[in-house]
Amino acid sequence: MAEAPHIPVLLGPLLRAVQPVQGTWVDGTFGAGGYARGLLEQGVDRVIGIDRDPAVFRMAEAWAGEYGDRLRLVQGTFSDLDRLAGGPVDGVVLDLGVSSMQLDQPERGFSFLRDGPLDMRMGGDGPSAADLLNTAPEQVIADVLYLYGEERASRRIARAIVAARPLSRTGQLSDIVAGCLPRPKPGQSHPSTRAFQAIRIWVNDEFGQLVAGLAAAERALRPGGKLAVVSFHSLEDRIVKRFMQARSNSAGGGSRYAPEAAREEPAFTLPFRRAIGADEAELAANPRARSALLRVGIRTAAPAGRVDPAALGLPLLSERGA
């Protein structure tokens, strides 16, 4: 038997939260296949694994055959998961953000710790990080850093990026960012963390994909179906939280976030009042789990509704800058 992939963050809590697991599930962010494997081991009939990165399917060849036709792999984005699934499903799991295996490959350009081409594209198509940073106006770059990465030194960093153009390597970008910020104290994150995160989100339109993916999950799930979303970024979690509140009518009648959705029949019920985090054992084994939050919704029989990105707190840029 092939070596099992790394256990993904919050796998145990997720599987407990969505019991009983049965029928057909979509793993919309297949990655190393950990969630898909966990669901299959729990006894679901079938998992449809979707990922925009073709490299993950080559890596899965070593073990995917163990599950035969119970596992179907599809290249695409989870924003299109309802079409890719081909029919109603019993569950959808989304693990947001970049995977550790992508960070571990310098040639992908995601890591500020390993020098490589300034790429950051998950699917290999569209403009790269270098393309955007070398052509976008300074104000757009500053907005990306501030809105997508909550980087307080966004204007200073954007000015330095424009002054240093053209950029082609992750090492160049990391040095520019670090030169604009104070030296980190012991225990603080690397100074490039927020900037690299923001630019990666920009390159891959991750927030736009998330909103579209949540709407696609609502369309795909049959009544009683479960939506489970794991996020690592406060802005991602805010979008997920507001989506589930708006689509379950639990935001309150006076909410300014989704006044129209509050008049619709609820599309979800929420089995947990709060997001689920990692326990001490998982935190000790995997420090990356510290920022992870799991939210779960259960689909009702109500028709799928319209989703307003602005009402979900989606940070909007005035232009892409490509």
Give the C-alpha distances (Å, rounded to integers) separating 107 from 30, 97, 169, 272: 20, 18, 10, 40
Q: Is 115 annotated as ligand-binding?
A: no
Q: Which has the closest alpha carbon to 268: 282, 247, 242, 250?
A: 247
Give the C-alpha distances (Å, rounded to integers) separating 297 from 7, 16, 217, 300: 23, 14, 11, 9
Q: Is 34 annotated as ligand-binding?
A: yes
Q: Is 33 annotated as ligand-binding?
A: yes
Strand order in the sheet with 293-299: 71-75, 46-51, 24-27, 89-95, 221-231, 293-299, 268-269
**Amino acid at residue number 158:** A
Q: Is 123 annotated as ligand-binding?
A: no
- Residues 277 and 133: their CA atoms lie apart, in Å, by 35
DSSP per position, 47-59: EEEEES-THHHHH
Contacts of 284 (CB under 8 A, 6+ apart): none
DSSP per position, 172-240: HHHHHHHHTSPPPPTTPPPTTHHHHHHHHHHHHTHHHHHHHHHHHHHHHEEEEEEEEEEE-SHHHHHHH
**Amino acid at residue number 52:** R
- Residues 292 and 278: their CA atoms lie apart, in Å, by 7
Q: Is 112 annotated as ligand-binding?
A: no
- Residues 277 and 9: their CA atoms lie apart, in Å, by 10
Q: How many CB atoms lie within 10 A of CB 155?
A: 17
Could you tell me whether strands 268-269 and 293-299 are parallel, antiparallel, or unpaired per DSSP bridges?
antiparallel
Q: Which positions make up the binding site for S-adenosyl-L-methionine?
A: 33-35, 51, 78, 95, 102
Q: Which positions make up the binding site?
A: 33-35, 51, 78, 95, 102
